[in-house]
Amino acid sequence: MAVAFDEMNGPSGDIRPAYQELSRWLKETPPDALEYRRQEAELLFRRIGITFAVYGDAEATERLIPFDVIPRIMSGKEWTILEKGLKQRVRALNMFCATSITAARCCAPISSLTI
């Protein structure tokens, strides 16, 4: 059976360096304080509209974007790797969009083009 990845703890069970301070804070923070913060965040998300609806769902009610009050923390090394991948994907999406717009203009009737 697959084991879930634990962001805070390494394979040996030691706290990862990037999580040392958060781990200390979590040990000092009462569970009811965390629950209060979670409820506060949920209320704020609903108030400002950070929600989505599943169309076609019988209920189709607004749902909150899934979130966790415990942050994911990355080391500088991890961020560098992620940043490279994100930049690559943004470049690819921009190129795709530019190609699609150009193709749409090439195929559009002359009367619909604006200058």
Residue ranges in the chain assigned as alpha helix (H): 20-28, 31-48, 76-107
Query: What does the pLDDT read at residue 54?
Result: 80
For position 109, what pLDDT does the model report?
Answer: 61
pLDDT digits (tens, 9 = 90+) for 35-47: 999 999 999 998 9
Phi first, then psi: what are they for 39, rounded to 5°?
-65, -40
Assess whether pLDDT exceeds 60 at residue 80.
yes
In degrees and rounded to multiples of 5, residue 94 shows phi and psi of -65, -40
Helix (H, G, I), strand (E, B) or coil at 15: strand
pTM for the model: 0.61
pLDDT higher than 80, residue 105: no
How is the chain split into domains, by residue range? 14-73, 74-115
